[in-house]
Structure 1
Amino acid sequence: IVGDITHSRVARSNMEILNKLGAEVYFSGPEYWYDHAFDKYGKFLPIDELVEEVDVMMLLRVQHERHAGDAHEGDFSASDYHKQYGINEERYALLKPDTIIMHPGPINRGVELADSLVEAPKSAFVAQMENGVFMRMAMLEAVLRGRKLGGLE
């Protein structure tokens, strides 16, 4: 999970469920956007230590609106973020053949992911968003009908 982990509901829900399901979870991004309370769910590492190892790279949207006025606002530029933490052509080339890139959307093109890679074969976020609708429908139906969700109540 790469990006603004502290402010992301997506990161929080994924780290919890992935941990329960036994996945190895890694975090990356600016360290000032990471809360070490999340260490119980996974390990924080530089992105370049992860790209060759992971099966799924989940990118998070840089939430510019949440950083206005924070202590690190002056440290941020979209191009610097992309160079340091984004998936660019070089990092993409290092991903394992079957690795997929996920993103909850909307994507800041050229920030989290190079514009040229938005429709690349490993970019799975269009299917992720489409399938997310059906998953939420199924979970809501199960909850409303009082069914258990595979031990994940």
Structure 2
Amino acid sequence: MFNTVSGKKIAILGFSFKKDTGDTRETPAIDVCRGLLSDKAQLVIYDPQVPEAQMIKDLSTPKFHWDQPASTIHISEDVVKQSVKVVHGAYEAAKDAHAICILTEWDEFRSLDYQKIYNNMPKPAYMFDGSNVVDVAKLREIGFIVYSIGKPLDPWLKDMPAIA
């Protein structure tokens, strides 16, 4: 994303630990969101079952890493409230987003109209699929730059300096 997410709108689809639950204990979404917030990204989060209050609490509560205490990222509740917006739908989250991060494998994310989503995003449009729920080839045909866990990069991305 041109080596920075500062000031960019990132849509987070899914915050719970796994689909069909509102459980956020040990969800990787907390660490991903904290990392993005520490890099000054603006987050718009949608999860069908996790309440906004739980997301704000999870993102602003210090997390102790017993094996690496110096790596703890603390984001104040004020920063979280300024930089995070919780919405009630995937399309609302993705509208005008520079990138989309799918962090929970909710079934509804498999059947979204990604052409519609792409049309409402600035270009280049990025998709980070941390749950392997999307058809990477179809998204690339639409025009997305797609990063998906365990799947190869677009061939032209392999030679980019930020990737190596």
For the aligned pair, the TM-score class normalised by the smaller chain equals: 0.5 to 0.7
Letter in 2 for 1:54: A
- d(CA) in 2 for partners of 1:93, 1:101: 13
**Which stretches in structure 2 are left out of the alignment for 5+ residues?**
1-11, 19-26, 57-76, 154-164
Q: TM-score, structure 1 length as denominator?
A: 0.54
Query: Does 2:119 match 1:93?
Result: yes
Shift of 1:61: 4.0
8 Å Cα contact 2:129/2:147 also seen in 1: yes
Is 2:38 the partner of 1:12? no
Task: Count the aligned residue pairs.
Answer: 108
Other structure's SS at 2:145 match: coil
Q: Which residue of 2 aligns with 1:37?
A: 54
Judging by fraction of residues, say which structure has more helix: 1
The answer to whether the 8 Å contact 2:45/2:85 transfers is yes
Counterpart-to-counterpart distance in 2, 1:38 and 1:55: 21
The AA in structure 1 aligned to 2:103 is L
Identity %, equivalent residues: 11
- Deviating 4+ runs (over 3 angstroms): 80-83, 118-121, 126-131
TM-score (norm 2): 0.51
Aligned partner (choices 15, 18, 21) of residue 39 of structure 2: 21
Paired residues for 1:74-113 under 5 Å: 78=107, 80=108, 82-83=110-111, 86=112, 88-105=114-131, 107-109=132-134
Q: Give the C-alpha shift of residue 93 in structure 1.
A: 2.3
Query: For the aligned residues, what is the CA RMSD?
Result: 3.3
**Which structure shows the bigger proportion of residues in strand conformation?**
2
